[in-house]
């Protein structure tokens, strides 16, 4: 039976083995495989847990505050989003998604601005890319309109909003409750530039939170006890001179996931973002196995509740083979680029592209 062989990643460690390939997926077996189609370091395909891909057409600003650059309704990003043509935006997003695929990504969770029109543009941009956008849409304004939300919920995977500060609290609760009644998760940015009331945030029952830069230890402990994951975005945060308290999050027991945030500020490449997180946190506070659980396991576990995506390498044929030496696999993965991904990673067993 066809296989790929080498060191196979499994929940924070690498095991010598191989994946037997079939039309139904791949089965892990210990030990080397015979007549392997490819040999190397085998990891799951990557998940980007937070993007705003719609602003990828905007040149990277030289500087500015969160409010000046990305805050609704009148930050630079939102002014540009109101002006951009559908053709320009869709083409830019399509190019970005194609690059995400080449860098080994299978899914990305996008907070999609622009109501139904924004969702439509992202869906059109993803056609033919073989990458699955997990779309967390939002109303076209910071106001609850039941008819608009009902239409939105018929096409999105979830609802993702900017934060509690931009909304009337009661209307935001209506939005979150309506999403859950439709069986769709709700999420939001929280405590990004100033601390916000964690009780009010968790009252929305979010599936996960974005940033929590200004969270207190108590806030993080509440997130851990409520099993609310937090997505961190090191590169985009660094543009604003801020930093997620990853060490305190882990000490509190929070499940941490990795995203890239605004495409105008950071390339949506998780291999690159892994390196940014590794450089940000010292190894005595974040070991390589713990880093890899954040980057390779936790995002897929978060998506498991939304899409049923497995965290197991090879499930449904979902794996990457990195054409790298087998010594120091953690270091080799951290150095990997799209040029190191073996072409077999993009094929089904029957030879079709996936």
What mean pLDDT do residues 137-153 have?
97
Q: What's the number of CA atoms in the CB half-sphere (13 Å) around residue 11?
A: 4
pLDDT in tens, 270-314: 999 999 999 999 999 999 999 999 999 999 999 988 887 776 776
- Quote the pLDDT of residue 317: 64
pLDDT in tens, 117-134: 999 999 999 999 999 999
**Which structure tokens are listed for 23?**
């039309």
- Please name which of 63, 61, 124 lies closest in space to residue 90, comparing C-alpha atoms: 124
Chain-centre distance for alpha carbon 199:
25
Per-residue pLDDT for 76 more than 50? Answer: yes
> Count of CB atoms within 10 A of residue 146's CB?
10
- Please name which of 51, 71, 173 lies closest in space to residue 112, comparing C-alpha atoms: 51
pLDDT in tens, 212-236: 999 999 999 999 999 999 999 999 9
Per-residue pLDDT for 136 more than 60? Answer: yes
Please state, in angstroms and as integers, the Cα–Cα distance from residue 41 to each residue in 33, 275, 345, following that order.
Answer: 14, 17, 12
Give the pLDDT band (50/70/90) at residue 22. confident
Q: Given phi > 0 = left and psi -120 to 50 = alpha, else beta, which region is 241?
A: left
- Quote the pLDDT of residue 315: 65
What mean pLDDT do residues 327-346 have?
94
Q: 309 by DSSP, 3-state: which?
A: coil
| CB-based contact 190:210 (threshold 8 Å) | yes
What mean pLDDT do residues 35-49 have?
95
Percent of the chain whose predicted confidence (pLDDT) is above 90: 88
Give buried/exposed letters for 11-35 (b at 16+ CB in 10 A, else e).
ebebeebbbbbeeebbebeeeebee
Give the pLDDT band (50/70/90) at residue 349. low
Ordered structural domains, the chain, with CATH: 3-45+311-346 (2.30.40.10), 46-286 (3.20.20.140)
- Please name which of 231, 211, 224 lies closest in space to residue 251, comparing C-alpha atoms: 224
Percent of the chain whose predicted confidence (pLDDT) is above 70: 96
Give the pLDDT band (50/70/90) at residue 351. very low
Per-residue pLDDT for 316 more than 70? Answer: no
Per-residue pLDDT for 206 more than 50? Answer: yes
Please state, in angstroms and as integers, the Cα–Cα distance from residue 273 to each residue in 49, 63, 228, 267, following that order.
Answer: 11, 20, 22, 8
């Amino acid at each position: 039976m066809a296989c790929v062989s080498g060191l196979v990643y499994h929940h924070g460690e690498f095991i010598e083995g191989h994946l037997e390939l079939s039309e139904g997926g791949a089965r892990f077996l210990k030990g080397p495989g015979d007549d392997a189609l490819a040999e190397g370091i085998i990891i799951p395909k990557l998940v980007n847990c937070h993007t705003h891909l719609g602003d990828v057409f905007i040149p990277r600003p030289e500087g500015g505050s969160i409010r000046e650059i990305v805050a609704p309704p009148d930050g630079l990003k939102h002014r540009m989003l109101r002006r951009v043509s559908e053709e320009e935006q869709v083409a830019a997003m399509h190019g970005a998604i194609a690059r995400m695929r080449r860098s080994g990504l299978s899914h990305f969770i996008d907070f999609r601005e622009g109501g139904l029109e924004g969702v439509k543009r992202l869906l059109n941009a993803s056609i033919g890319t073989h990458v699955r956008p997990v779309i967390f849409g939002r109303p076209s304004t910071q106001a609850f309109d039941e008819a608009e939300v009902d239409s939105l919920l018929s096409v999105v995977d979830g609802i993702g909003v900017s934060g509690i500060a931009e909304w009337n609290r009661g209307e935001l609760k209506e939005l979150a409750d309506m999403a859950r009644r439709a069986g769709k998760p709700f999420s939001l940015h929280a405590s990004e530039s100033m601390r916000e009331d964690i009780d009010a945030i968790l009252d929305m029952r979010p599936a996960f939170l974005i940033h929590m830069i200004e969270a207190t230890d108590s806030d993080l402990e509440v997130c851990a006890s409520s099993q609310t994951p937090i997505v961190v975005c090191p590169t985009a945060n660094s543009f604003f001179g801020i930093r997620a308290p990853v060490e305190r999050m882990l000490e509190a027991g929070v499940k941490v996931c990795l995203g890239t945030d605004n495409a105008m500020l950071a390339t949506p490449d998780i291999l690159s973002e892994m390196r940014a997180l590794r450089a940000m946190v010292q190894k005595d506070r974040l070991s390589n196995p713990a880093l890899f659980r954040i980057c390779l396991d936790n995002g897929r576990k978060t998506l498991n509740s939304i899409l049923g995506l497995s965290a197991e390498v090879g499930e449904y044929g979902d794996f990457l083979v990195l054409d790298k030496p087998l010594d120091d696999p953690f270091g080799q993965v951290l150095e990997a680029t799209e040029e190191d991904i073996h072409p077999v990673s993009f094929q089904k067993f029957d030879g079709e592209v996936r």
